[in-house]
Amino acid sequence: MSVPDYWPRARRELARRDPVMAAIMRRHRGSALTTRGDAFLTLARAIVGQQISVKAADAVWGRLVGAAGEISPEHICGLGLAELRACGLSARKAEYVADLAGHFISGALDPGRWHGLDDETLIAELTDVKGIGRWTAEMFLIFHLTRPDVFPVADLGLQKAASLHYNRGSKLPPRRLVALGHSWSPWRSVATWYLWRSLDPVPVEY
């Protein structure tokens, strides 16, 4: 696991601009975003975990690993939909995981060229996969690719934390949330991460 190179600079610039953010970051000094794993595994796990508990997702994932032997596009494609469903996946999620594997095998999703794509272009490529919506794509850009300026405005945790710290707990209108994000650019991922930490000090890992 590694911390993004830009993290110290982002912290300094955000603290200089925004005293509220500076106070949040001081309370969570020593904590930073880290990344690990490979792209296919991360996206497959995100699909498996949609709309079910962490415990249930872990159980399904364990059965999937047992059936495939290895979580890779080739091994997943080697399983039929019936075998994927036997692992505990719904019919729809089985299709989603198979579609994801197909995108990697065909080269429609190619991690080797992602570094040259801007955030919106990459989000469009990811959301072309069945079962991957914008929120999942944004989480992937933040947690796996550590892109510095992603702002997931539809995320409920972000909305709650921003309302708490910037609007005395009252719901922050979408327009104000977007304007707040502009004030943090080009470090909106970092600001979002610290707002999440203000609600839950234990970092999420993908």
**pLDDT per 10-residue tile (average), the chain, 206 residues:** 90 97 93 84 90 87 94 94 96 96 95 94 95 93 94 93 94 94 98 92 61
Just give the CATH number of 39-143: 1.10.340.30
Distance CA 121, CA 140 (A): 14
| Chain Cα centroid distance, residue 67 | 26
H or E stretch covering 160 = helix 156-166
* CATH topology agreement for domains 7-35+149-199 and 39-143: no
Q: Which residues contact 121 (CB under 8 A, 6 or more apart)?
A: none
pLDDT at 203: 60
Question: Which structure tokens are listed for 65?
Answer: 């690993």
Tell me if residue 35 falls in helix, strand or coil. strand
8 Å CB contact between 26 and 51: no
Tell me, yes or no, if 155 is annotated catalytic. yes
Domain boundaries, the chain: 7-35+149-199, 39-143
pLDDT at 51: 83
pLDDT at 37: 74
Q: In the CATH hierarchy, which top-level class contains the domain 7-35+149-199?
A: mainly alpha
Q: The pTM is what?
A: 0.86
Exactly one of 58, 119, 128, 155 is catalytic; name it: 155
